[in-house]
Amino acid sequence: MLAVVGTIPDSNFPLVTEEVTLEGSFIKIRDNLVAVNRGTAALLAAAIKTFEFLNQPLPFGYLVGDIGLGQGSRRLYKLLTQELPLRDFHTIAFHYMLPYVNRQNEVLLAVEKMAHRPVLIADAGYMYVAKMSGQASKYDLFTPDIGELAFLADEEAPHPIYTRGFILHKEDKVPELISRAYANNNAARYLLVKGSTDYIANREDILATIDSPMVDAMEPIGGTGDILTGIVAALINSGIDISQAAITAARVNRLAGYYAMPTPATQVIEIIEQIPRALAEIMNTERLFETSPAKKHIEPE
């Protein structure tokens, strides 16, 4: 099962741990409805769309309200520390959380006590804290954009805002930034770098680049990175190896964006709705699920 850990931008939203469903443009967790516009709700909506297509179980949410003051995040760190050793998840995607280095370290210790080590994905604030703590290499996948990659590449920066100017956030510098991030042990086992060209890399090499379809308007749309993380998390949880899942997710995300015919004013739910169509096309192209033993039971639409 996939666990998704993150926050909801509502200080009154309770700490809830349960399966998450999608109802129209809202996710639902234990009678709480959350509009899908960006953030962890968008990640979950994308993961659910992917799971629905793959006929897989729903994701399990660890959600709490937090508008940046940190109270919700702190409660969630504490709960994870207590509860994870008792749980069994195939994959955990950590997302929008206020970064607390020591609490993140405690959660990693709790993960090590789990009977089966899950695949660990970190994006957004949790990727920041993973890097800040010097524990990046304990994670299996980071999904930075170009600005965040520059932050990973800068061994001195504790947050993207402090990335030094000589480490340029330019698309043509991506391979160099990836190398630098790995050289300083500030990257996860795999990187999925999202940008006008998406890069999938590990410590040894750049494994793939995906640059089509090119939809310029995706960049300003809040939540496109979140849905990419949702798709890749769902694919990994379905048994696909991380690098192949990252390649497929990047293709699906770009194609879903293309089908949505977005402008810079488009909201991310319009792209999420195109995920099944994009998955169908990409799966036909890649014949992904004929080559993956874990997917033999899946019957595409």
Binding residues vs another protein (CB under 8 A): 7-10, 37-41, 66-70, 72-73, 96-102, 123-129, 132, 145, 147-148, 151, 156-163, 165, 169, 216-217, 219-225, 263-267
| Closer to another protein by Cβ: residue 143 or 274 | 143
Smallest distance from another protein to CB 39, Å: 4
What is the strand order of the sheet 119-122 is part of? Answer: 16-19, 60-65, 2-8, 91-94, 119-122, 141-142, 190-193, 198-202, 206-210
Q: Cα–Cα distances in Å, from 96 out to 65, 183, 186? A: 11, 26, 19
Give the Cα separation of 110 and 45 in Å (integer): 27
Instruction: Please identify, using beta-carbon distances, which residue of 157 and 181 lies nearer to another protein.
Output: 157
Q: How far is the CB of 288 from another protein (least distance, A)?
A: 29
Whole-angstrom distance, CA of residue 212 vs CA of residue 119: 28
When the beta carbons of 171 and 301 are compared against another protein, the nearer one is: 171
Residue 12 CB, nearest distance to another protein (Å)?
12
- Token pair 């770098």: residue: 193
| Residue 41 or 242 with smaller CB distance to another protein | 41
Task: State whether residue 199 is helix, strand or coil.
Answer: strand
**Shortest Cβ 142–another protein spacing (Å):** 11
**Minimum CB separation from another protein for residue 177, in Å?**
14
Sign of the CA dihedral with 127 first, then 134, 158, and 72 last: positive
Q: How far is the CB of 202 from another protein (least distance, A)?
A: 22
CA distance 193 to 172: 13
Strand 198-202 vs strand 206-210: parallel, antiparallel, or unpaired? antiparallel
- One-character DSSP codes across 226-245: HHHHHHHHHHHHTT--HHHH
Q: Which is nearer to another protein, 163 or 292 (CB)?
A: 163
DSSP letter string over 54-90? HT-PPPEEEEEE-SSSSHHHHHHHHHHHHHGGG---S
- Map residue 266 onto helix, strand or coil: coil
Under 8 Å between Cβ of 115 and 88: yes
Closer to another protein by CB, 207 or 217: give it. Answer: 217
- Token output for 204: 């040894």
Closest approach of Cβ 192 to another protein, in Å? Answer: 15
**In the complex with another protein, which residue's Cβ is closer, 238 or 267?**
267
Smaller CB distance to another protein: residue 9 or 230?
Answer: 9
Q: How far is the CB of 10 from another protein (least distance, A)?
A: 8
